[in-house]
Amino acid sequence: MIFDSPIGALAIYFNDSAVCELNFLHPPDDEQPEETPAAARVTAQLQAYFSSSVRPFSFPVLLRGTDFQRRVWHALQQIPAGEVRTYGQLAEQLHSSARAVGNACRQNPVPLVVPCHRVVSARGIGGFAGRTEGAEIRIKRWLLKHEGVTFPHE
């Protein structure tokens, strides 16, 4: 399904009733959202999030990845809205390296739902979706600001 948000169109894919992938679309796609009970739950929670009711998502999510990636993604889900962690902090927590944490964040199949935008560099905002500039960083800045975190221009 396609969800129009303040940060652009989001393509949301399901495996049965669980969200298994979320992609930022550049430019928006004309595909029409499929009307299912699962899609309605996801849409309602995304609308609440973007209308300033920032709270954890409670719809089912199917995360496919390596054991390490799933450990990182679980740790990301523990970071409350309005807070950030550095790649190094997560690496220490997971007994790994900052680069490995960054790579797992880059492979996150459901950004926003698994909030990799809440992970930043020790020297600034860091990257998002494998990029360090452009639309992805504008989205990361928007999401963090929406959740009450601001970063000066780098």
The per-residue pLDDT of the chain, averaged, comes to 90
pLDDT in tens, 45-62: 999 999 977 888 999 999
pLDDT of 34 over the 90 cut: no
* Ranges assigned E (strand) in 16-126: 18-24, 85-86, 119-120
More reliable by pLDDT, 28 or 119: 119
| Given the residues 116, 120, 129, 139, the one annotated as active site | 116
Burial of 43 (0-12, 13-18, 19+ CB in 10 A): middle
Percent of the chain, pLDDT > 90? 73
Residue ranges of domains in the chain, CATH in brackets: 2-50 (no CATH), 67-146 (1.10.10.10)
pTM: predicted TM-score of the whole model, two decimal places: 0.85
Identify whether 116 is a catalytic site residue: yes
